[in-house]
Amino acid sequence: MTGSDHVGIHWRYDPGQAQIQNPLGVKYSLKKVKPAEWKEAFDEEVGRLGAKLNPITESVTVTRDQLDDAAEAFTEAMQKATEKVAKARRPSPHAKPWWDETCTAALNRVRRAQRDARRYRMENGFADPELKKVIKHEDNHYHRLVKFKKGSWATKTIEEAHPDDMWGFRKWSK
Give the model confidence (pLDDT) of 15-32 as tens digits: 565 666 666 677 888 888
- Average the pLDDT over 146-164 and give the result: 87
Are residues 83 and 140 located together in one domain of the fold?
no
Is 102 within a domain? yes
Q: Where are the alpha helices (DSSP H) in the chain?
A: 35-48, 50-58, 64-85, 101-124, 129-160
For residue 10, pLDDT beyond 60: no
Are residues 109 and 84 located together in one domain of the fold?
no
Query: How confident is the model at residue 170, as a pLDDT?
Result: 67
Is 142 within a domain? yes
92-151 pLDDT tens trace: 778 888 899 999 999 999 999 999 999 999 999 999 999 999 999 999 999 999 999 999
Are residues 51 and 36 located together in one domain of the fold?
yes
Boundaries of domain holding 42: 28-88
Give 51's contacts (C-beta < 8 A, 6+ positions apart).
none
Are residues 80 and 95 located together in one domain of the fold?
no
Percent of the chain whose pLDDT exceeds 90:
36
For residue 66, pLDDT beyond 80: yes
Is 166 within a domain? no
Q: Residue 28's beta-bridge partner residues?
A: 88
Are residues 102 and 144 located together in one domain of the fold?
yes
Is 7 within a domain? no
Is 1 within a domain? no
Q: How many domains does the chain have?
A: 2
For residue 90, pLDDT beyond 90: no
Residue that finishes a domain, picked among 88, 113, 130: 88
Cα dihedral sign, 80-81-86-91: negative
Q: What is the pTM of this model?
A: 0.52
Are residues 81 and 122 located together in one domain of the fold?
no
